[in-house]
A and B are shown apart, each in its own frame.
Chain A
Amino acid sequence: MATRPEVVLVTGVSRFLGARVAANLATRTGVGRVIGLDPFPPHPEVEPLLADSSVEVVQADLRAAGEVIADLGVEAVVHLAVISSPDQARGGRAAMKEQNVIGTMQLLAACQQADTLRRLVVRSSTAAYGASFRDPAVFTEDTEPREVPRGGYARDILDIESYVRGFRRRRPDVTATVLRFAPFIGATAETALLRYLARPTVPTVLGRDPRMQFVHVDDALEVLERSVLESHPGTFNVAGPGIITLSQAIRRAGRIAVPIVEQALAASAATGRGLISNDQIDLFVHGRVVDTTRLVSEFGFTPRSTPDAFADFVRSHQSGALVTPDRLAAAERSFLDMIHRVREEVR
């Protein structure tokens, strides 16, 4: 049985996921030091989380990882500085690609030189499966992407995974875990996709009703933590079993779908500042469902189902709902009453 790493380096601690993972790991017995590395200062909302923990934050780009790993004898690296949507305040898509692709290259180059390193955990995404009409309905980890997706994040993910494959070849002694996460969801999760779904009216692609999967943030954290503390070499889909279609999700959230022809949405995405991104259009046209058998059997852990995880999101976003189950039931009752009255009159 693999022992817990004494010193852990977590990248991407300026954002929610990285900060939470770092703070959680710092409290685990056996883990002596947790170093958080990020080119940006922590977001205001995660600052208290890091301040209350014993995480040592280093603000530098990922090239600095080499020195940190060598100086402190880092045994495990958790790479979470992977951004799923451009942040206009932090340089937009160009900076996103810089951090995702170049950052990963730099980090893995540093990891390759590190003799003390035993474990590498990398955040990936189910976007790694691309988007094609000839795709199978359910992706297993062995499914190869058929077409390069148009979304920027998805293309970054393909690059990141190819770098990890190279790293695995050069450092077979390091346990490398790649976690392909479905889109995050939960009461507190904040992503571009969730902000989109929280709108009162949600533009969708006309004639498409994609099958979607989510993973609850708490379950994602659990899997990440286990990947660091235990040894789980390989690539794993991390998603809530079961699916929800986009139309169903919008209805359950009490929102209203506004179907728009794909070309118009693509034109809006092309401006780069539109409501929707190419990554979302890929998802909204093709949908994305993965098989989680490998995760469940290797980790002995089943994330809560996609419908349950989505229900958590709905509960915390009641305020924007236009069509609630209560209102529908009331409408149904009053309509039935009306019919009864009319028929009584007629009789």
Chain B
Amino acid sequence: MSAPEHSLPQSPLTEQDDAWDRRVASGLAFLRRRLSGAYEVDEFGFDQELTEGLFHPMMRLLQREWFRTEIFGAKHIPADGGALLVGNHSGTVALDALMLAIACHDESEGNRHLRLLGADFVFKLPGLSELARKSGATLACTPDAERLLAGGELVGVFPEGFKGVGKPFRDRYKLQRFGRGGFVSAALRTGVPIIPAAIVGAEEIYPLIGNIKPLARVLGAPYFPVTPTFPWLGPLGLVPLPSKWLIEFGEPIPTEDLVDQADDPMVVFNLADQVRETVQEMIHGLLERRPDPFAQ
């Protein structure tokens, strides 16, 4: 891709120039591969090259510089094989999903890609739907979840859904209902462990103080948020507040011995409750470590 070091002219700046040259050359090569379609996309639409080359650097910047995120318990993410990551959802705009994904990739042993399950609203919107697919997400539905898990992927799900992301600021860090526990059935049927994950910090990025329901209905959105800065400051209101983030991965909950009980609603509800309580406890633990939401 780049010229070997000895072929470059000798000067005091060689070392530095070389790195610059390399960056330009690899950037151009990336551009050429993209323009000629010479990359792979999996059956869900996941474009690994684009994700690692373009999305990850932006997410990383946001995570490290803006949110100053600290990550705990990444050792609980298995280096390979299927696993279901279950997290709390918050923050009006689902940045927590992206931050969880980059945390998984950068901190896990196998540099795992988190395959997120998204609401159908995401896949209805032009543009957003394709960004979601290219970054590895797919629709939150049983066939897709089971296909990914059976294929040995690390799958991320937020069972609270819009009830979690779109909840008012006063309800922050209170876990909402976990739906029908479909995520538990998927894990049970494929026999993969469930890894609880707690995210603290996302609640403060866009504090939701109001919801203009008629406007949401017109736009076909699940809610229309009003925050201290949006829509008052226009596009500036889209800048997330720089809260301090903590992400913790909990101990995996094994499911192998429950595989034949995936259809038993009692087993499913109990396990869903167990996961929910674990995540809630982890959130409380993290909040104690972070008394000031905007600490350094």
A: residues with CB less than 8 A from B are 133-138, 140, 143, 205-209, 211, 242-245, 247-252, 254, 262, 287, 289, 323, 325, 328-329, 331-332, 335-336, 339-340, 343-344, 347
Contacts and interface: CB of A to CB of B under 8 A. Distances in A.
A136 B143 contact: yes
A342 to B, nearest CB: 11
Contact of B32 (A136, A243, A244, A332): A332
B255 interface: no
A105 B47 CA distance: 44
A202 B34 CA distance: 17
Contacts of B36: 251-252, 254, 323, 325, 328
15 contacts: A133-B124, A134-B139, A137-B44, A137-B138, A138-B43, A205-B126, A242-B43, A243-B41, A243-B42, A245-B45, A251-B37, A254-B36, A262-B126, A336-B24, A347-B9
A251 B41 CA distance: 14
B236 interface: no
Question: Closest 3 interchain pairs by CB?
Answer: A207-B126, A251-B37, A252-B37
A339 B24 contact: yes
A137 B39 contact: no
Contact of B35 (A134, A136, A249, A251): A251
A345 to B, nearest CB: 12
Nearest to B34: A251
B41 A134 contact: no
A91 B31 CA distance: 46
A244 B24 CA distance: 28
A136 B144 contact: yes
A325 B24 contact: no
Nearest to A261: B126
B17 A244 contact: no
B32 A245 contact: no
A250 B34 CA distance: 12
A66 B38 CA distance: 52
A332 B28 contact: yes
A323 B34 CA distance: 12
A208 B123 CA distance: 10
Contact of A208 (B38, B44, B126): B126
A139 to B, nearest CB: 9
A211 B43 contact: yes
B45 A249 contact: no
Contacts of A247: 37
A211 B127 CA distance: 14
Nearest to A285: B126
Contact of A343 (B17, B31, B138): B17
A211 B24 CA distance: 31
**Most A Cβ at <10 Å: residue of B34, B45, B134, B147:** B45
Contact of B37 (A134, A243, A249, A289): A249
B124 A207 contact: no
A335 B28 contact: yes
